[in-house]
Amino acid sequence: MMRFLFHRMLATLPVLLFLSIGVFSMLHLAPGDPVTTMLSDDLASPQVAAALRHQLGLDRPLYVQYGWWLRRALHGDLGYSYRSKSRVASEITARLPVTIELTVFAIAGALSIAVPLGVIAALRRNTGLDALISGIGALGLAMPAFWLGVLLILLFAVRLHWLPPSGYAPPWRGLGPNLRLMILPVITLGMSYVSVVMRIARMSVLDVIKADYIKTARAKGIQESRVVARHVLRSALIPIITVVALETGRLLGGAVVTETIFALPGIGRLAVDSVLDRDFPVLQAVTLFMALALIAANLLADVLYAWADPRIRYG
C-alpha cells in the first residue's frame, strides 16, 4: 500500500509541475503591470517603480523568476496580497476552516441522505417511489446552487425567520450560532451532490443485486437487511467513492458560489474577491490550493477503494 501511494504521488509530479508553470504564468499573462497596481499614484515615479521592480525580481528573465517563485512556494511562501499587504499563506490559512467545515458537512450530509435513498430506489425499482426519488434527483441536478441558496434564504430566513440569512460565526465562539449559520449553506452546496450520488448509488446497487454471491447470501438464510448492509452496500461503495472523488472539483466550485451567497469568509469568497480586486498573488495561491485539494481527493479515493473492497490490493 505504501509503495502504491508512493508511485501514485510520483505520477502526480508532472501534473504538479505543469500546474505550477500554469499558475505562475497567470501573473504574467494578465494585462497591466503588477508594480503600478501595487504603487499608489502619488508614489509611482519611474525611479520608485524601477526600484520596486528590481526588489521583486521582475526585471530578471522569466525562468529565473519561476525558479524563485517555485522555491518560495515550496516553502509555503506565496507572496503578499496586493490588497491587504498581508502574507497570502496566512490569508489562506485564516479562511481554510470555513471552507473545510462547509465542504465536509456538505459531503457528509449528502452521503447520509443520498446513499439510503439510492438504495431504496434500487430495491423498490420501477415503483412510484423509485420514480419520485429519481425525479427529485434530476431536478436537484438542474437547480443552480445559487438559486437554491436564494430560495432557501427566502423561505427560512425572510419568510419563516427560522434561520439567519447569511454571515459566519466561528465554532470556537459557540457551536449553536455557528451551526445555525451553516445549515443553509450546507444544504445549498450538498443538494447537487445528493442528486449525483443518489443516481450512482441506485445504479450500482442494481448492478450488484443480481450477482451470484448475493443469491448465495440470501439462500443461506441471512436477513434481507443484513444482506443489503453487509454485501450489497459494500460492493456498491466503489462507484460511490469514485463519483465523490470526481465530483470534488464541482464541490469546490460550488463552495465559491455558496460562500458568496451566504457571505462566508472562506477560500472561495477569497477567489472571487481577488479577481474583483485584481489581486493576482491571492488568485494564484487559491487556484493552486484548489487544484492540490482536487488531486488529494483523488488520491484519497484510491486508498478508500482498497478499504471498501478487499479484493483490490495495490503494490
Partner 1 sequence: MRGPTLVSGTGNAVVATYVAQGTRIPTSGGIFVTGARFVTRHRLACVGGLLSLGMLLVAVVGPTVDPTPPNAVHVSALLIPPSRTWWLGTDDLGRDILSRVFAGGRISIGIGVVATLTAAVVGVPAGMASGFWGGWLDGALMRLMDLLFSIPTMVLAIAIVGVLGPSVTNATLAIALVAMPRFARLVRGQVLALREMEFIHAARAVGAPPARILRRHLLPNLLGLVVVQGTLTVSFAILTEASLSFLGLGVQPPTASWGSMLRYGYPFLDQAPWTAITPGMAIMLTVLGLNLLGDGIRDLLDPSL
Q: Which of residues 226-255 bind partner 1 (CB under 8 A)?
A: 248-250, 252-254
Site string for partner 1, 126-155 (x = CB under 8 A): ------------xx-xxxxxxx--xx-xx-
CB of 48 to partner 1, least distance (A): 26
Q: In sequence order, what are the residues at sequence separation of 6 or more whose Cβ sits closer than 8 angstroms to the Cβ of residue 209? A: 122, 123, 232
| Rounded distance between C-alpha atoms, residue 187 and residue 20, angstroms | 34
By CB under 8 A, residue 204 contacts partner 1: no
Of 109, 123, 105, 106, the closest CA to residue 229 belongs to 123
State the number of binding residues for partner 1 (CB under 8 A).
Answer: 47
What is the Cα–Cα distance from 103 to 252, expressed in whole angstroms? 8
Q: Quote the least distance from Cβ 141 to partner 1, whole Å.
A: 6
Q: What ranges make up the beta strands (E) of 130-196?
A: none
CB atoms within 10 A of CB 106: 25
* Near partner 1 in 14-43, by CB under 8 A: 14-15, 18-19, 22, 26, 29-31
Q: How far apart are CA 200 and CA 42, in angstroms?
A: 60
Sole binder of partner 1 in the list 294, 303, 306, 308 (CB under 8 A)? 294
Minimum separation from the CB atom of position 62 to partner 1 (A): 16
Q: Is 290 in the site for partner 1 (CB under 8 A)?
A: yes
Q: How far is CA 8 from the centre of its chain?
A: 21
Distances (CA, A) of 149 to 76, 95, 135, 137, 165: 35, 21, 20, 17, 10
| Residue 256 contacts partner 1 per CB under 8 A | yes
- Regarding 280 and contact with partner 1 (CB under 8 A), the answer is yes
Told to check if 13 binds partner 1 by CB under 8 A, we report no
Please give the Cα distance from 107 to 192 (Å, whole number). Answer: 11
295 binds partner 1 (CB under 8 A): yes
- Measured from the CB atom, the residue of 195 and 237 that comes closer to partner 1 is 195
Residue number, 164 or 253, with CB nearest to partner 1: 253
Q: Is 172 exposed, middle or buried (0-12, 13-18, 19+ CB in 10 A)?
A: exposed
Residues in contact with partner 1 by CB under 8 A are 14-15, 18-19, 22, 26, 29-31, 138-139, 141-147, 150-151, 153-154, 158, 248-250, 252-254, 256-257, 260-261, 271-272, 274-276, 278, 280, 283, 286-287, 290-291, 294-295
